[in-house]
Each structure stands twice: as structure tokens, then as C-alpha cells.
Amino acid sequence: MSPPATLLLEIGTEELPPKSLRRLSDALTAGIRESLESNGLGADAVIGFCSPRRLAVQAQGVPLRQPDREVERKGPSLKAAFDAAGAPTKAALGFARSCGVEVGELGRVESGKGTWLVYRTQQPGGNVQSVVPDLAAQVLAALPLPKRMRWSDLDTEFVRPVHWVVLMLDAEVLDAQLLGVRAGNLTRGHRAHAPEPLSIAHAGQYAQILEQQGHVIADFSRRRARIAGQVEQQAAAAGGRALSNDALLDEVTALVEWPVALVGDFEPQYLRVPPEVLICTMQGNQKYFPLLDGNGKLMPKFIAIANLESRDPQRVRAGNERVIRPRLADAGFFWDQDRKQTLAARESELAGVVFQEQLGNLADKSARVAKLGERLAGTLDCDPALLRRAAHIAKCDLLTEMVGEFPELQGTMGRYYAINDGEPQAVAAALEEQYLPRFAGDAIPASPLGRALGLAERLDTLAGIFAIGQRPSGEKDPFALRRAALAALRITIEGELPLDLLALIEQAVAAQPVDAQPGLADEVFDFMMERLRAYYQGQGVGTLHFEAVLARRPRAPLDFHRRLQAVVAFTELPEAHSLAAANKRIRNILRQAGQVPEAFAAERLCEPAERRLAEQLRRVERTATPLFERQDYRSALNEMASLRDAVDGFFDEVLVMDEDRTLRANRIALLNSLSRLFLQIADVSLLPGET
């Protein structure tokens, strides 16, 4: 057998969407890898490449042929294949003919139900050259494209117009037509630096040829690392540190083929504008890296990544400085302009901004949030007057020019303008914190006021949008209710707020300007519980543990959390398994028993094992009850774990279903008491345990 070969596929396109470039490349790479494997051509390594103008995959160590396969075709059963005299029937003859052989050449296959005629043949595997073109076409057709397009008068659809395709096995070009283009061995380099087509001599030399002759670093990670290195180097040379993040680095990497970092300056006077605004301008609009000095303060400089080794770098630098100047001037103008009016003075304008047609304007919403927030003030230990104030001006920054231009600065600008207006520090902080957490892993509000405001705001939105019948369905969640629900839950749990969520939702629903369906609060509550499930799944908590607590439907998420922690700890105990199993068993007994007396009568317990269980149960009830009240479920479950021997002993030695009706009923009542004790915390019968 010949040594394995290297396969190369490159799709050359017009500039691809940067934010989905990597995802697209990963999907293509995985598609080729899996498809090669499932076609008996599994490679040693499959590597993806991508740049603005190309998606490529290189598979190393691809076998040259698929292995031969034994194909088995089942025919009629022996009974149907031969008549009484042993002569082949029409069915047998027909089957043999369809296989192109005589009946005598067919094999036999046995199964439990009888014996059948069978035709076995070796199907020779195809060679790579003949298999790969179709395989590649299928993978390309199945790519999850963010947005398909057509171009010119062609019928082909792709993310961007396709101009060239390379499909090679070692030095050989494969005969293929992909995305409307005939495959060849010609790639293209950098638009300006290497405008002529480059010929690839061998599939294994792809990346080297592009880098050495084409001014293209085709490997995304390599390009990204180079950018990160250049940024760091330039920042150090400028006496600062670059403000970078993964998303920005990824996006910049997807926008260039040959990165060249350069430092630009802007007028120091703009440093009077809040740094968040400047950072937003530089990163968001221009994909620049801002620079910080030794004290963590912004410097009047930025790093841009050009896609060119310019013959006159000074012009590129000056050009970029020209772009940022009017943008910063705008930001400075908004900053000066917005501060001419206080946030509070804008409150009357909130009535002119629709929140949602049926749910009124932002003034209406702010009033609702203020009311709901006041109810939280006690638990959160914050001043109701401050809370009212914060709620009433919470949305006013949405009316400023700055937030109009930079919507992502909502809240942050609220804080700056509130400080400027002389609002209390706590109010200013709450205006920013109301939007926390903004994304998974983001911090929750630090201040009580911020927590109260953030919680009230989300519960009002959830109640309102559910009330008008627009709850999320499937992928559709236009009001981001899933995120709102999770944020509210995180605030109560991580902020350790003992709040009755259902009661709060009921109040929020009642405050909506539309008539809610009966049971709507429960619907919202259940929706939030589903988010809670996702929250714990993300933390690796088992579904059964979650279900065990959910079965009790605690109304306060913090209470839920404490029960869940206790249940998780409980299942680590050696007693857990057998107690879970016992509870399952008890549940079955109770279900079959139907009517169960409220309490058992201790004097009617006659067997030692049942008397022992009753005593132990009484003891644990006594010690656990104060623990329930303190929500110290973990200690309570520890206490309950000590029941294990008594419970096991009971089931080993006592016959619950005694013929004597009174004894039987009394024993069932005893078990019911035991079950109810556990149910104070969770339905442990749902936990893993052998029965």
C-alpha cells in the first residue's frame, strides 16, 4: 500500500464576515474530518485555515483508498426459497438473478428465527481522488452559513462570492467543480502585496507558500498570536499597556491577512471624556486597541492593525488619526451637550418614549419599577427614598445624545451624568449597576440599591411581556427574557437575598396596565425555574438533584439554592443511596395505600425495628426542625442521614403489609412521617438509589 497523502481544499472568496469567520472555518474543518472518517478515509490530522479571503482545510495522512467492504444482501428464507422437493422457488431464482449469480453460489445466514439465503460480495473501496470531490461538495452544502447570497447571474449561493477553489492530493489537482468553480492548484495572495495567482506545487506546502510568497498568514491562531505580540510590543514602545480582549483580537484577526501594528495619537483634550466612551469609540467603531499608562489611565494613543506593509506607513497612521478625530470630537460634543441638562430634568421626556405599545412608555415603566423596588427596600436594607429616586431617573440616560450614539453605554453614562448632577453616590452607582450582569460570568450589582433596581426592572419586564402573550418560544426571545430571568435569579441567589420570588412576580403582574390571565405569575415563576435549571446545569449540578428540590417548589431562589447545596452534599454521604432508595419505596407504598392517617400511634408499634425507627424519627425531628427554620438544610440532612440503619432495619425486619389492618395502617403512617421529614427539604426519592 502506498504511503498516505495530504489533501488540501481551499475556497477563495471575497471578504468574509469577520464575526463568523472562525465558526465557519471550524465547521468546514470538522465537516471534512468527519466526512473523511465516515468514508473510510480517516486522516491523521485535519487542520483548518481561514483569512478574510479564504477558508481552507488540510488533511494530513489520508489513506489513498477506502478499505474494501463486505456487502451482504439478504434474500428469501430457506422455507420460501426451496420447495418440498428441494428445488429453488421463483423467489430464490429471482433473488439470485438480481445478484447476478446462480442459486448455488448464494450463502446461508442464520438467525434465531431461521435461515435465509444471502449474497456476499467484496465491494472494492474507491480511491481518494474519486471520493473527495463529492464529499467536499456535501460538506460545503451543509455548512451553517450566517447569511447566504447570490452574485452576478449565477445560481451558486455562498456567504460571499467564490473566485477560486484549490483541491489537491499531494501534487495532483483533483477533478472537481465546487461552488460553481473548477478546482485547480492556483491560490491568491494578499490583494496589494501579491496580486498575481500563486501556484501550489504540493498540498503540504499550502501555508508556507502563502506566507512566503503571498503575504498571507493563513493560520488564524498564528495570525492572532502575531497581532497580540505586535500590539504588546508597540504598546511597550509607546510606554503603556494595550487594552485588549479576546473578542477584539478575534475580530481584528478576521479582518487582516498580513497584520502590521501602528501607533496613532489623538488630542489629549479628549481625555476629559469618560474613558468608557473613548474605549467604545476606539474598539467598537475602529477596532483599535486603546492604551493605558502605568496608573491604568487612558493615554491619548491607540494601536491600529493595518493589513499592509505600507511603502509610506506615516500615511496610514495619519489616515487613521484623521478618522478617530471627528469621532472623538462628536463624543466630546455629546459629553458637553448632555451635561447642560440634568438627568432628572429629562424625566418628563420619558413619557415620549414607548417601552412597548401595550405596556406604556418609559415613564410608566419607571413608576412601576419604583413601586416594586420599594417593596424590596426592606429586605435589601436600602433607603426607600433613594430607591424611588434611582428608579425614576434610571432610564433618563437613554435620552442623552451619548447613549443615542453608543447604546452599549447605557447605565454607565447614567452614572457619570448622575454624579455630575450631584445625585447621591448610591443612586449614581445603582444607575450603572441596574444592567448587571450584562453577560454570562459578569458580576452582579455590588450595592443593595443596584440589586433592588436591577431586580425590580427585570421582574417588571418579565411580568409585562408575559402579560401581553409574548413569552419566548424556541429561538425567539426578542425581549431577552431568558437573560433577564437569569440575571434576577443570580441577584437573589448570589446576593443572598431571602426574597419570595413568586410574591414579587404577583405584584409585578398586578402592576401591569394589561389584564393578565389567571395563573400568569406561576407561568413566569416556572419560566424562571427553567432558567434556574440552566444556571445549575452550567455549574455541573445534576438534573436529579435539581428535580428533587424543584419538586418542593421553594418560592425563594435563595432557599432553593440552600436546599440544592444540601442535597448535593447529602448525595456524597455513604447513607444517601440507601435512603434515596427507601424514600422511593415509601413513595410507592404510599401511592398504593391511598388514604394515609395523619400520624402514627407509637403504642401500636409492636416490632422492635419499627419502634426503633419511630424513636429515631422523633429524635431527628426534634433536632432537625430548628435547622429547617434556619435553612441549615445541610446539617438537617446530616441528621436525617443517621436514620439509615433504622430505616434499613425496618424494611429488613418488618412486614408493612401486615394482614392486620390497624397494624398496616399504622406502619404506613410511620413511613409517611419519615417521608414528610425528608420532603421538608427535597424529594429525595428522585435522587439516584437502588431499589
Partner 1 sequence: MTAESPETFQDLISALQRFWSDQGCTVLQSYDMEMGAGTNHPATFLRAIGPEPWRAAYVQASRRPTDGRYGDNPNRLQHYYQFQVLLKPSPLDIQEVYLASLSALGIDPLVHDIRFVEDNWESPTLGARGVGWEVWLNGMEVTQFTYFQQVGGLECRPVSGEIAYGLERIAMYLQGRDSIYDLHWGRSVHGPVTYGDIFHQNEVEQSQFNFELADTDALFPWFDACEAQCRALTAAGLALPAYEQVLKASHTFNLLDARHAISVTERQRYILRIRQLAQATAEAYYAGREALGFPLLDAASAAESVGT
Cβ atoms of residues 560 and 532 within 8 Å = yes
Burial readout 2-25 (b: 16 or more C-beta within 10 A, e: otherwise): eebbbbbbbbbbeebebebbbebb
The region of 13-21, 95-103, 613-621, 638-646 touching partner 1 under the rule CB under 8 A is 13-21
Kindly give the residue spans of alpha helices, DSSP state H, lying in 400-478: 401-405, 412-421, 425-433, 448-467
The region of 16-24, 77-85, 169-177, 441-449 touching partner 1 under the rule CB under 8 A is 16-24
The region of 37-45, 102-110, 318-326, 683-691 touching partner 1 under the rule CB under 8 A is 318-326
* CB-nearer residue toward partner 1: 317 or 533: 317
Q: Cell numbers for 499, please give them.
A: 426574597
* CB-nearer residue toward partner 1: 147 or 661: 147
Q: State the nearest-atom distance from the C-beta of 315 to partner 1, in Å.
A: 6
Can you tell me which residue has the cell 447613549? 403
The region of 11-19, 129-137, 171-179, 474-482 touching partner 1 under the rule CB under 8 A is 11-19
Binds partner 1 by CB under 8 A, chosen from 65, 163, 552, 587: 163
- Helix (H), strand (E), coil (C) string for 54-73: EEEEEEEEECCECCCEEEEE
In degrees, rounded to 5, the angle at the alpha carbon of residue 434 between the alpha carbons of residues 404 and 565 is 145
DSSP string of 226-253?
Answer: HHHHHHHHHHHHTTSEE---HHHHHHHH
The region of 70-78, 114-122, 352-360, 602-610 touching partner 1 under the rule CB under 8 A is 352-360
Site for partner 1 in 86-125 (CB under 8 A): none
Q: State the nearest-atom distance from the C-beta of 219 to partner 1, in Å.
A: 20
The reply to whether 310 sits near partner 1 by the rule CB under 8 A is: yes
Largest CA distance in the chain: 109
Site for partner 1 in 322-341 (CB under 8 A): 322-326
Q: State the nearest-atom distance from the C-beta of 362 to partner 1, in Å.
A: 10
**Nearest residue to 376 (alpha-carbon basis) of 439, 434, 441, 436:** 434
Site for partner 1 in 584-613 (CB under 8 A): none
Kindly give the residue spans of alpha helices, DSSP state H, lying in 511-575: 520-538, 543-550, 557-571
Binds partner 1 by CB under 8 A, chosen from 79, 108, 150, 182: 150
The reply to whether 23 sits near partner 1 by the rule CB under 8 A is: no
The reply to whether 311 sits near partner 1 by the rule CB under 8 A is: yes
* CB-nearer residue toward partner 1: 18 or 125: 18
The reply to whether 500 sits near partner 1 by the rule CB under 8 A is: no
The reply to whether 147 sits near partner 1 by the rule CB under 8 A is: yes
The region of 136-144, 160-168, 548-556, 680-688 touching partner 1 under the rule CB under 8 A is 160-168
Binds partner 1 by CB under 8 A, chosen from 111, 152, 539, 691: 152
Angle of helix 557-571 relative to helix 520-538, nearest 10 degrees, comes to: 40
β-pair type (45-51, 54-62): antiparallel
Cβ atoms of residues 462 and 524 within 8 Å = yes
Binds partner 1 by CB under 8 A, chosen from 107, 352, 469, 513: 352
Site for partner 1 in 181-210 (CB under 8 A): 191-193
The reply to whether 286 sits near partner 1 by the rule CB under 8 A is: yes
Binds partner 1 by CB under 8 A, chosen from 306, 502, 503, 573: 306
Cβ atoms of residues 217 and 253 within 8 Å = no
* CB-nearer residue toward partner 1: 149 or 201: 149
As beta bridge partners, residue 114 has 111
The region of 17-25, 32-40, 57-65, 242-250 touching partner 1 under the rule CB under 8 A is 17-25
* CB-nearer residue toward partner 1: 150 or 297: 150
Phi-psi group of 309: left, alpha or beta (phi > 0 → left; psi -120 to 50 → alpha; rest → beta)? beta
Q: State the nearest-atom distance from the C-beta of 341 to partner 1, in Å.
A: 16
Can you tell me which residue has the cell 497584520? 259
Cβ atoms of residues 507 and 569 within 8 Å = no
The region of 10-18, 57-65, 416-424, 546-554 touching partner 1 under the rule CB under 8 A is 10-18
**Residue 482: exposed, middle, or buried by beta-carbon count in 10 A (0-12, 13-18, 19+)?**
middle
* CB-nearer residue toward partner 1: 155 or 598: 155
DSSP string of 175-202?
Answer: --EETTEEEESEEE--TTT--SEEE-S-
Q: State the nearest-atom distance from the C-beta of 291 to partner 1, in Å.
A: 16
The reply to whether 126 sits near partner 1 by the rule CB under 8 A is: no
The region of 15-23, 421-429, 469-477, 630-638 touching partner 1 under the rule CB under 8 A is 15-23
The region of 72-80, 317-325, 530-538, 562-570 touching partner 1 under the rule CB under 8 A is 317-325
Q: State the nearest-atom distance from the C-beta of 213 to partner 1, in Å.
A: 16
* CB-nearer residue toward partner 1: 334 or 416: 334
As beta bridge partners, residue 188 has 197
Rounded to the nearest 5°, which phi and psi values hold at 461?
Answer: -65, -45
Q: State the nearest-atom distance from the C-beta of 349 to partner 1, in Å.
A: 11
Q: State the nearest-atom distance from the C-beta of 193 to partner 1, in Å.
A: 8
Cβ atoms of residues 375 and 445 within 8 Å = no
Which sign, positive or negative, has the C-alpha torsion 167, 173, 174, 176?
positive
Element (H, E) at 343: none
Q: State the nearest-atom distance from the C-beta of 452 to partner 1, in Å.
A: 28
Q: Could you count the other beta carbons within 10 Å of the beta carbon of residue 542?
A: 15
Instruction: Provide CB contacts within 8 A for 451, sequence distance 6+.
Output: 380, 433, 444, 445, 491, 495, 497
Size of the site for partner 1 (CB under 8 A): 43
Q: State the nearest-atom distance from the C-beta of 464 to partner 1, in Å.
A: 16
- The strand order across the sheet containing 241-242 reads 241-242, 289-292, 298-306, 260-265
For residue 524, give Cα distances in angstroms to 101, 374, 396, 492: 68, 21, 28, 16
* CB-nearer residue toward partner 1: 145 or 569: 145
Site string for partner 1, 355-394 (x = CB under 8 A): --x-------------------------------------
Site for partner 1 in 36-65 (CB under 8 A): 52
* CB-nearer residue toward partner 1: 149 or 514: 149
In degrees, rounded to 5, the angle at the alpha carbon of residue 223 between the alpha carbons of residues 219 and 225 is 120
Site for partner 1 in 234-263 (CB under 8 A): 255-256
Residues at the site binding partner 1, with contacts judged by CB under 8 A? 14-19, 52, 147, 149-153, 160-161, 163, 191-193, 255-256, 286, 304, 306-308, 310-312, 315-316, 318-320, 322-326, 352-354, 357
